[in-house]
């Protein structure tokens, strides 16, 4: 599996925030893009996800007019329209600190896999060109996600790991400067990071996945909970497209980092979860997601994996699933267990 992981040679400095992070959200690439259509955003899903994020992070956001913050020129319009005057008498909105990290989906993966960026070798012309092309693609998506969030009144700012000084050493995170992320949070902004092409001390370059980024952020910023928004209802015992696939409602993570299926009870309790990875996916797919979620849960932080743009996602984002899971909630929770 060719993907950076969280075994770090150099740990980020301890981060202290005056207002702790409530939630880190991973927007799965397959949930917000049309993964089989090159560089195509799933506009409907992204709009719904953005609205649900606003509802979850802002107190009393279900009522009242939403004042958008994307003041750029819109397609088909000759002028820039902005509700500047509406902000003048607007009371300060109390919101909980969130961090958003998104995958690439149909952006970036094609460029990275065709050029072999994830394997390293930046001195090769094809790899160097692919490195540049990959970053152009993923930052293009990042901008569109930031704009979608801004249109919902979320003060979002794009932050690329490469530009923020993140790097790896043989695909393990070697340096992750979180100072810019921390300053953004303290300033009342919502950082929006993404999977990125980064420099590697030994390989020259590689791909740093959004799932690995979230694990690092969780370890240093200690959010109350983490939510992975995906294109399926949760984690299954096999690819959900296969017959008789079973949704796993709860996975327990032990002190040693090992994990086991708690609910439902399967006939073969020792059965390992089977996963599938798209041919162009250079980040490890669901297997990486589960591994990183388990690493987060080991810290005592609950992780919810749920289908994006659904009522189940909104409940997870809102933080109402602590304790026993409601029977009518569809998704997977990964939790620490000291049994």
Cα–Cα distance for residue pair 95/92, rounded to 1 Å: 9
Contact 160, 124 (CB under 8 A): no
DSSP states along 281-338? --S-HHHHHHHHHHHHHTTT-EEEEEETTSHHHHHHHHTTT-SSPPTT--SEEEEE--
Cα–Cα distance for residue pair 105/202, rounded to 1 Å: 27
List, as residue ranges, the binding site.
104-105, 109, 210, 231, 285, 289
Contact 93, 54 (CB under 8 A): no
Cα–Cα distance for residue pair 286/117, rounded to 1 Å: 20
Alpha helices in 11-167 (DSSP H): 29-32, 43-57, 84-88, 109-115, 125-151
Residues 6+ apart with CB under 8 A from 241: none
Cα–Cα distance for residue pair 276/66, rounded to 1 Å: 40
The owner of tokens 């690329």 is 160
Positive or negative: CA dihedral 86, 89, 91, 92: positive
List, as residue ranges, the binding site for substrate.
104, 109, 210
List, as residue ranges, the binding site for ATP.
105, 231, 285, 289
Burial class (CB in 10 A: 0-12, 13-18, 19+), 92: exposed
Q: Which tokens go with 88?
A: 């003048």
Q: How many other C-beta atoms are found inside a 10 Å radius of the C-beta of residue 245? A: 14
Contact 235, 313 (CB under 8 A): no
């Amino acid at each position: 599996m060719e993907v950076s992981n969280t075994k770090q040679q150099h740990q980020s400095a301890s981060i202290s925030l005056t207002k702790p992070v409530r939630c880190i959200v991973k927007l799965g690439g397959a949930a917000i893009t049309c993964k089989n259509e090159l560089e195509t955003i799933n506009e409907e899903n992204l709009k719904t996800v953005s609205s649900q994020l606003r509802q979850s992070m802002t107190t009393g956001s279900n009522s009242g007019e939403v004042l958008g913050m994307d003041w750029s020129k819109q397609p088909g319009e000759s002028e820039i329209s902005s509700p500047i005057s509406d902000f003048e008498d607007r009371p300060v909105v109390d919101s909980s600190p969130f961090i958003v990290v998104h995958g690439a989906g149909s952006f970036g993966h094609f460029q990275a896999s065709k050029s072999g960026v994830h394997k390293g070798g930046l001195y090769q012309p094809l790899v160097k060109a692919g490195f540049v092309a990959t970053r152009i693609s993923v930052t293009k998506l990042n901008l569109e996600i930031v704009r979608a969030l801004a249109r919902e009144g979320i003060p979002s700012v794009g932050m690329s790991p490469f530009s923020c000084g993140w790097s790896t050493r043989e695909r393990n995170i070697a340096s992750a400067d979180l100072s810019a992320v921390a300053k953004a949070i303290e300033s009342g902004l919502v950082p929006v990071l993404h999977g990125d092409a980064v420099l590697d001390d030994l390989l020259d370059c590689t791909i740093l996945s959004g799932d690995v980024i979230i694990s690092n952020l969780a370890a240093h910023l200690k959010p109350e909970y983490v939510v992975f928004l995906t294109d399926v209802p949760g984690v299954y015992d096999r690819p959900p497209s296969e017959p008789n696939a079973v949704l796993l409602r709860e996975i327990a993570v032990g002190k040693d980092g090992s994990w086991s299926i708690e609910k439902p009870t399967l006939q073969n309790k020792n059965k390992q979860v089977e996963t599938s990875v798209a041919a162009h996916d250079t980040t490890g797919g669901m297997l990486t997601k589960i591994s990183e979620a388990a690493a987060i849960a080991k810290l005592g932080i609950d992780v919810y994996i749920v289908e994006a743009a659904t009522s189940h996602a909104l409940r997870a984002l809102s933080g109402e699933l602590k304790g026993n899971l409601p029977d009518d909630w569809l998704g997977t929770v990964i939790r620490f267990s000291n049994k």
